[in-house]
Chain A
Amino acid sequence: MPSLQSRINTAADLFRLQETLQQRASSNNRYIAVCGDTGCSAWGSKSVKDVFRDCLEQKGLAGQVGMKFTGCLGLCESGPVVIICPEQIFYQKVQEEDVEEIIDKTVTRGEIIPRLLYQDVLSGETYTYMNEIPFYQKQKRLLMGNNLKIDPNSIEDYLALGGYSATARALTEMTPLEIIDEVKFSKLRGRGGAGFSAGDKWKECYDAVSDRKYIICNADEGDPGAFMDRSLLEGNPHSVLEGLIIGGFAVGAREGMIYVRAEYPTAVVKIKHALHQAEELGLLGENIFGSGFDFQVSISIGAGAFVSGETSALIASIEGRAGEPRQKPPRLAQRGLWGRPTVVNNVESLANIPVILREGEEYRRTGTDKSRGTKIFSLVGKVVNTGLVEVPLGITIREIIEDIGGGIKGGRSFKAVQTGGPSGGCLPEHLLDTPTDFEELNAVGSMMGSGGMIVMDDETCMVDVARYFLRFLQDESCGKCFSCREGINRLLEIIDDIVHGLGTPGHIDLLRELSVVVKDSTLCGLGQTSANPVLSTLQYFEEEYRAHIKDKKCPAGVCKALIHFSIDLEKCTGCGVCKKKCPEEAISGEKKEIHEIDPERCSKCGICLDTCTFDAVLKC
C-alpha cells in the first residue's frame, strides 16, 4: 500500500492511494468544518477554529472528531459558518464562547442549538441542515460543493474525493485531441468574462507549431465585488491545478503558470503549498503517471494593475514590462509569452475541466444550450444573503436575488443589479427575468463578466454608481489609448458636473455620443467596455439623470450637492441629540425649543437624520 510520501508513478498507484484515503475518511467521518475563507475570517473564524481545536483536545475528543478549516462555504453574510459533519448541521455567526456548547451538545450528544441556526428573514423559519437552507437549495455546487469536505492545505482530502482521477484519465487514456473534443463537446465557455469557447481556444494553441508552448491560469481577478476566483484558489487549489495540468497536456505545453494578483496573499500561500504537495507526489514534474508528459508550474505575482487581467497585458506583465494590452492579431496562440504559442484560461474555467472529464454527462445536462455548466456569482450589495453562489447557467437573475439571495435587505425595494463588474451594466426590475446566459445578458446591455453581482436598492443613485465605476476605470486604465484615458476623464468630468448640480440638457446626448466613441475606438476589452456603466444607466435610468440636470434633485438622496437637510417644525421636540452629534456644529437651538440647521455649515453627513428618534430631520 503506497504511503503518502511515496511517488505516484502510474494511474493504478493513484487509484490505490485514493481508495486508502477514502476508507480512512469514511471510517472517521465525524468532523467540524469551520469556514476559513476571507468573509468568515473577517468575522473571526480563525480564532473560532483555534478554540474548537483546543476544546476538542481538552475534552479528549481530538482523536474522534476531526477539524477542517475549509474554503468558502457560500453564505458569507452569516460568518463565521460552522458545519457539523457528517449530518451537515449548519451553525451561523458562531463566536468563541459558543464553541464549548457546540461540542458538548451537538458533537457529543447530537442536540441542536436553536439560537445558532440559520433563520430566514422573510418567513422567520429556522433550518437545521445545510441542504435545507433556501440559499443552497437552488444552487448546483459542482465546483464549490467539495469545499466542505476539503481542507485546502490537504492534498489527501482532495485525493479522497477522487481528485486527480481526471488527470490520470486524460494523461493515460486520452489523446490531446480527444481531450479538446470533450471540452468542446461540453461547451465550456471562458469564465473570465468574454465567454470564448475553451475548447476552441485550446485547439488553436494545439495547432500552433512550436517547440515550446505555455498555459497560463489567469488569477488576476480585480472587479469590485467579485471574489470567486480567489475563493476557488483558496478553497480548492488542487482542482485548478488539475485543470492546468490537463490543459497543458491538451495544448502541448510543458510549462504552466499561475498569474495571481499580489492582493491575494492567502491564495498565493495556498497555491504554493498545493504545488509543493503535487510535486512531492509526482503529480507535477517529469513523466506524470508514466505517460511521458512533463509539466512544471510556476507562480507569477502581479503588480497591482487591474488591466493586467487582459491576456496580452498579463503576458507583458509576466515578461517584466508594464501591463499594457497590445494589438491582436497576432493572437496569443500564435505569439504569446516570450513569443511562443500561449493559452490563457481563467481560474474558474480551469476548475471546470476536471469536472467535465469526471462527470461529463452531468455537466452537459447543466445550463443552457449555448452556455453549459455552472457559474459562480459573488452576490453582494443590498441583498439579505451575500456570498458566493454557484448556479446552473440559464437560471434567471430574479431567482438568484430573490430565492437564493433572500431579497433586498432591510425591507427596502429593489432598484438595479449590476452584473459583470465595472465593464458590465445595471439592469432594472423589469429585466430581472433575464437568464444568466452570455448572449442574453449582452442583449440587454450588460454582460456575464467574471460574475460579480451587485444588488442595489432604492437608496442607490444610479448616476453616482456610474461615477463610482468610472473612477475605478480611470485609475485602472493603462492610459495608452487616448480614447480610453481621456474618454473616461471626460465622461467623469461631465458626470461630476451632473452630481454637483451643474449639468446642462446637452450633457445626456454628449455622454451618449462620447460613450459610443470610447467603446468603438479603444484597443482592449477594458477600454471598449469602460463606457458601459454610463450607457446602461442611461439606457434604463435616464430619468434619474434628468432629475439631476433639470430639477437639480437626486431622487435617491445620495448626491450631496443636491440634497438638503432641514428640521420638521412640528416634530422637533428640542431634545438636542442632533445638536450634540453634529460634527460641523451646524445645528442650533435651545433645549426644548425647535432646532435649526445652518445650511452653510451643514456637511450633509446625515448623522442628524440617523440619530433623531422623532423623525424630525428631513432630507430632500
Chain B
Amino acid sequence: MLEMTLNGLEIQVEPGTTLLEAANFYGIEIPTLCYDAGLSPIGACRLCLVEIGSPDRSRLVSACTFPAQKGLEIRTHSKRVINARKLLIEMYLATCPSSKTIQDLASKHHVTRVRFKQKHDDCILCGLCVRICEEQMQAKAIEFIGRGHELRISTFFDKKSEDCRHCGACMYICPVCQARCQGPQEKDAVCNACLNLEPPCLEEFEDAMCYMDPCVACEQGHEPRKGCSQRKEGS
C-alpha cells in the first residue's frame, strides 16, 4: 500500500491507483469530462486537475492519469486548482454551450460569466467516443484526425467506415451530444439553471416554476427568463 496525503488526510491506496480513483474512493468529488471508469484515461479535458507537492514547489497534474506515489501530497480543491478549473469551464462554455453536462459544471462551480467570444463547436475532443469504440466495442471505427487547432474526430480518411456497427456507443457516451441542453441562446453562454438552487423564475414569479417539465412559466406564454433551461422550441 502507498501512503499519501489527500487534502491533509492520511490515506492508503494500492499501487497502480490513479489520483482520481484515490480521491473518488475517499469520497472527494473531482469534475471530469473525458474520464470514464471503463476506459483508459487520457487526461484531455484537464478538469480533474489537482495540486501535488509541497506548497512552495507544487504543480498541477491531471488526476485521472497521474499514478499514486508514496508520500505524495495532494490538494484537490486549492485556490490554484479552483481558479484553473473555473477558467477552463468558462472556456468550455464559450466553446460548447449546448452541453447540459458543461452547463451543470458551470452551475456547480459558480461560473457566471463568459469573457470569450461565443463559439458553437459542439465537440470538445474529449475522446470518449474514440476510446469506447476501440476499447469496449472493439470496432476502432473512429479516430482523432489532424493536429492542434485542426484536431477533430472522424472515420479513417473521412470515408464511411466498414468497422462501424452502428452500435451508438459513441453517442451514448458523448458528454456534449447526450442530453442536449436547450437553455442558453446564441448570445448568452451561461444558463446556470438546472443545478442552481436559486431558480431564475424568481425574477418574475413568487415561487419556482421550473420543477415541471415542460416549464409552466414558459408554457404560460411568458417571456422565457434569462437562464431558464426549459424554453419552448423556437421561442
Contact = CB atoms under 8 A, between A and B. Distances in A.
Interface of A: 305, 307, 322, 326-327, 329-330, 474-483, 485-490, 493, 506, 510, 513-514, 517, 520-523
Given A476-B147, A476-B148, A489-B149, 9 more contacts: A327-B62, A327-B66, A481-B43, A483-B88, A486-B91, A510-B115, A517-B87, A521-B46, A521-B60
A330 B116 CA distance: 36
B87 A482 contact: no
A350 to B, nearest CB: 28
A512 to B, nearest CB: 11
B172 interface: no
| 8 nearest A-B pairs in the assembled complex, by CB-CB distance | A479-B151, A327-B65, A477-B148, A517-B87, A483-B46, A479-B148, A521-B84, A517-B84
Contacts of A514: 87
B42 interface: yes
B149 A482 contact: no
Contacts of B126: 482
B60 A482 contact: no
Given A474-B148, A490-B116, A520 B80 contact: yes
B199 interface: no
A480 B83 contact: no
A327 B43 contact: yes
A493 B59 CA distance: 27
B234 to A, nearest CB: 31
Interface in B147-167: 147-151
B147 to A, nearest CB: 6
Interface string B14-49: 000000000000000000000000000011111001
Nearest to A323: B147
Most buried by B among A322, A476, A521, A522: A521
30 contacts: A327-B65, A329-B66, A474-B149, A477-B149, A478-B151, A479-B146, A479-B147, A479-B150, A480-B42, A480-B43, A481-B44, A482-B44, A482-B92, A482-B126, A485-B125, A486-B91, A486-B95, A487-B91, A489-B149, A490-B94, A510-B115, A514-B87, A517-B83, A517-B87, A517-B88, A520-B60, A521-B49, A521-B88, A522-B46, A523-B43
A552 B149 CA distance: 29
B11 interface: no
Most buried by A among B80, B84, B144, B148: B148
Given A474-B148, A510-B115, A481 B46 contact: yes
Nearest to B117: A493
A530 to B, nearest CB: 11
B107 to A, nearest CB: 19
A472 to B, nearest CB: 10
A514 B91 CA distance: 10
A482 B80 CA distance: 18
A485 B148 contact: yes
B173 interface: no
Contacts of B44: 480-482
Contact of B144 (A322, A510, A517): A322
